[in-house]
Every structure is written in structure tokens, then in C-alpha cells.
Structure 1
């Protein structure tokens, strides 16, 4: 574990933190730096941090109030970047006993092989696992796969090895609480950082009662990370349909020419909004020619939309062309999303 700093974010710890430190120090021949962040635990827990400093030679950084796990990780990364110039990365591990020492070593060993990757110690969630933990992780990884294309076994693991160059990006990544770990994965996609999974044992002590994860508020914060992925398409769709309806109303015709003109004018406005949001907020992965790719897709998609809206409207004369366009464009949306994700805003990982 040469040139690796162990980082432990901690809030209101107990004997499990000291047990973890005892295990690390008893099995390492070289004193590896350990940085613990006291995230506003308060006076009642000072003894644990004092023992960590005096007995186990740990560096303890203290937040005067509770800011959240994400802020604690950023505090530690900032400290490591400033004070450990030779450190190649950090390994983050929770203080509540969920991560075994040997699993931490497995992850560091994987990092020594994949030095430019984000290493994730992933749980299989077999055996006796609290329902909320199992369900929450399953739901999150499914949403992440569908929306971002990132396929992971465990999105919420706290056992990670983060390379130094990636830490320099992560200290500026948004999020202060548990949602920060999700934002880290999205940042990995943005920066084209490969993610390597290392299987670890699933450990839950006392039904995970010592966890400071708030089921309601932290879940909302985590899933809020995904809301922006839906906002762009929904709002641009609303812009497109509204402008199309107004133009058809003022033209007073519903033939192919009128529908095509209305479609292209509406799409030129809504697509500009959609492109800017997708490029800078949603996918955050646009290449230098993504603008050309995107508008090539817009032209093709708009033509197909106009053609099918006209055909359906001519067959079913009683149907309002705007309603027909809503149905057609919803079908095209699914195809367009995957084309954007896989081609327009995609970069080949080196």
C-alpha cells in the first residue's frame, strides 16, 4: 500500500472505529498515513478521535458542525493533495465496520494494476441484508444504467480507491452529503475515468443501525442527481410542442408543407435549448464535433417526425396534428436519447 493514504470520514463513531484502526496498524509493517475527518461529532465523541491520534498516529481533521459525508471526503482530499505530494491516491473506508481490512487491501492491489481507474469495492447483497439497503442500491443502479449508461454492481459503496488526478477534479464536484458518492460516478463518466469493480464481502452490523444515512432526505438528494437528466428532454419537448401548435394555428393549414415548416421552426428553438443543457449539464461529455452530430440528428429526426405526422393526419383527418406529433415525438424521443448517449455526446475511453 505504498503511496496510498487511508481516508476515513466519521460521524459519531464508536468502538468499531478503534477496532478498524487496531487492525490496520497491526497488519501493516509500514505506518501508512490515515486521515480521519470528524464531521461535527461533538464533544461526546472527542475521546475516540483523541485515541486515534495518540494511539494510532492518525491525522484528525475536524468540522465544527456536521456538513455531510461528501464534504468530509472533499476536506480529506484537499488535505492529501496539499500535504502528501507523493501520494498516488487515497482509499476511502467507512468507520462503522462495514468494510473489512482485507477487502481494502484487495482494492488497493487492484489500483496498483489499474492506476488510472476509480476502484470500487462492490457488495453482492447476498445473505441477510436490510431491505432498504438492498432495494435502494438496486433501484439506484438501474436508474443509473438506463439514464447514463454506467453499469455497476454497487453504486453506493464507500470503499473506493481514488487516483490523485481524479481527486483534483472531485474537490470541485457538487454535493456535500451521501449524494456526493453518486456525483463522483457521474464525474468519472464526464472525465472518462474507468471504473473497476472489486468484489467484497457484504457486511451489515446490527441491521446497519449505526449508519447516518437518512432514508428520506438523503434518498431525495441522491435521486435529485438524476432529475436533471429528465428535465432537459421534458422541458425542450414542451417548448417544441407549444411553438409547433402556435405556428400551425397561425398558418391555418395541416398539410405536409405546413407541418414541416412548423416542425423545423419549433425544433430549431427547442433543440438549441436541449443541446446546451445536454452538453453542459446532462451528458457533460460533448466532443468538439458534438454540435454537428447533434444537429445532424435533429434534421433527420424532424424530417421523420414531419413525415409521419403528415401521413397519420392524412389517414385520420379528425385527429389534431399537435396530438399526433406528441405521440410520434414520444416514440422518437427514446431512439434519440440512445443515439445522443452512444454517439453524439460519447467519447471513446482511452
Structure 2
């Protein structure tokens, strides 16, 4: 195995001369001829000369979108090309590099070296985010890293890095992965966790030119796309949480008495109402995944949560009689929120729909 067995993919939207500088460096430093695929993601006629020079002067294959479709779609276009290539039999991986000058060829080689040692791993070129990094980039990466850690338990230093080496055997899986724009890269990490794929991090240089003004990342719009699964889960949970609290409060007013039996009955009936709603929303809208055993696993989780919640609500209600029982239940169930997400994401809704 060698570098020539790894195809280089550069997705580009309205690039500048830094893309050509990268290509020039690759051709000057390469020890053996590498396959380079550029994807023109609808840059338009004003940028045609740059792509023509890349094709003719630096011997690159150029794939073109008629309109801008997003970085995720550009990478998928490259994947489709790679899978259909005549050289497919010798390929072991695909490395993606951003076209805006953030990634050097030397760092790319470092990542490719790591991949040759770990050919079944997803290799990430990770940056450090010091105070001199543009706020937009530092905030977006740190927030995404922390959100990913909280909701999935994954520890990734740089969730938005565009420098990645992907095993060839995994490309067909990514071709069917949701996400057409920047959220595709986050979904790739979630898919790696689901597929139990090792992730290997390689430290790289942090380069931002002109405060990263050339980036086409839209902080609000693209962040919403990246966090879409998390946001939908939170919205679904909050909606059903209020359904559960309303039903619980109503039933407690009918049953009367603050004891384990009445709390359990009220919790059980209220949770049936809210959990059926929550299961349907999570299965069809949030995770969009699952298998024949998902319903069994989900409602088993619900039963366990009811028992834990009832026990703590009853005990805490007896200790703090001055607090409304509904408020105590809000606090207890809120603490169970993240644990439930982890179980649902990693175990219950982990497979394909059947």
C-alpha cells in the first residue's frame, strides 16, 4: 500500500488561487503520481478558468455541478466517481481536502501516513483552537465538539475538519448517508460510531487566512443543519415531556394522596400517553431508523424510567413537602433526559427500518 492507492478529493465552491497553490504543491512534492479529483460545486462561469487550469496544468479530474448543492453533495459526487473508476481495484481510501488553503500538503501526508498504518480507521486531521482563531470558527467547532460529546459520548477534538481519510470499504455507506451540506461531515462521525469504526486523530496546523472570510460556512443556517438530530430530539422530548407532566398532574389530582402507589399509577398512565407519542415522533422524524425490536426496546426503557422516576419522586416528595409534586417530577425527569437519548440513539434506533 502507498499514497497512490489513496485518491485525493477537493470539493470547491467559488475557489481562488489558493486551490491552484495546493495543487501545485501536491504535484511538486509528490513522490509518485497521485489521483486528484476536484468537484466544482456550481461555482459558475466566472470560475471556469481556475478549474480548466487545474485540469490541464495539474492533471486533475474535474466533476461539475450545474448549481451549488453543498459540500456533502460534492463529496458524494466524488464518491460515486471513485466507486465507478477503472482504478477502483487498487484503491484503499479517499482523502478530502478543503480548497481554501486551510490544509497543507504536508499535513495531508501526515494523515495519509496514519491511514496506511490504520487502513480500517477514519482518520481526522484535527486543529487546535487557540484565542487567535477567528471567533466564528472557534465558537462553531468548540460548540459542536461539546454538543457531540454530551449527546453521544464521543470525544472528537475537531468535528468540522475537512481533512479526512476515509476507508474505501466505507464509501458506499457514506453515499447513502443523509446530509447535502456541512451537516454531512457531522453525520459521518455519527455513522462511524454506529458502525463501530475506529477514529484516529492526527494533529495538523491551524491556518486561517483573512479571518477565514473565504469560508462559505453560514454560522446559523449550517449549525442548525449540523445539530438537526439533536434539536429534533430536544423538541420531541420537550413536547412529550409537557404532555407527561400535564397528564401526571391531572391524574394525581384525581387519585389523591402522596404515596408510592398513587405516584406510580399516575406516572404509568401519563407515561403511556406521552411515550406512544414520543416513540412515533422519534421513529419517524428524529432518528428515522430502527428495526422490528425498536418498539420493544423503547417501551422497556419507558418502564424502567417510570420505576426510577416514581421512586425518586415519591421519596423526594416526602422529604420536601413544601415543593409541588409536579416540580419535583420535572427535576427528576430532566435528569433522566440525556441518559434516555444515549440509550435510544445507540441501542434502540440504531438499525435500518424494516
TM-score band w.r.t. shorter chain: 0.7 to 0.9
Pair 1:8–1:253, CA change in 2 (3 A) = same
Query: 1:68 and 1:346 mapped to 2: Cα distance?
Result: 27
The one of 82, 85, 88 equivalent to 1:85 is: 88
The one of 84, 95, 113 equivalent to 2:99 is: 95
In structure 1, the residue matched to 2:197 is 193
Stretch of structure 1 that moved more, 36-45 or 262-271: 262-271
Stretch of structure 1 that moved more, 319-328 or 276-285: 276-285
Query: 2:279 and 2:107 mapped to 1: Cα distance?
Result: 43
CA contact (8 A) 2:283 2:349 kept: no
Where in structure 2 are the equivalents of 1:36-75 lying within 5 Å?
36-75=38-77
- Residue 154 (str. 1) matches residue 158 (str. 2): yes
Partner SS state of residue 226, structure 1: helix
CA contact (8 A) 2:140 2:219 kept: no
Structure 2 length-normalised TM: 0.86
Cα deviation digits, residues 160-199 of structure 1 (max 9, x gap): 0111222211112122222221121112122222211000
Stretch of structure 1 that moved more, 168-177 or 253-262: 253-262
The one of 9, 21, 26 equivalent to 2:23 is: 21
Query: 1:219 and 1:310 mapped to 2: Cα distance?
Result: 40
In structure 1, the residue matched to 2:266 is 262
Question: Unaligned 5+ residue runs, structure 1?
Answer: none
Query: 2:275 and 2:147 mapped to 1: Cα distance?
Result: 25
- Residue 125 (str. 1) matches residue 167 (str. 2): no
In structure 1, the residue matched to 2:219 is 215
Stretch of structure 1 that moved more, 35-44 or 250-259: 250-259
In structure 1, the residue matched to 2:210 is 206
In structure 2, the residue matched to 1:113 is 117
Superposition deviation, residue 253 in structure 1: 5.6
Cα deviation digits, residues 36-55 of structure 1 (max 9, x gap): 00011111111111111111
Pair 1:13–1:310, CA change in 2 (3 A) = closer
Superposition deviation, residue 252 in structure 1: 5.5
Cα deviation digits, residues 301-326 of structure 1 (max 9, x gap): 32232234334545666755434322
Pair 1:186–1:276, CA change in 2 (3 A) = farther
Pair 1:315–1:194, CA change in 2 (3 A) = closer
Superposition deviation, residue 90 in structure 1: 0.6
CA contact (8 A) 2:41 2:69 kept: yes
In structure 1, the residue matched to 2:14 is 12
- Residue 3 (str. 1) matches residue 5 (str. 2): yes
Cα deviation digits, residues 228-269 of structure 1 (max 9, x gap): 332343233223223323433454565433321121222234
CA contact (8 A) 1:279 1:345 kept: no
Superposition deviation, residue 65 in structure 1: 0.9
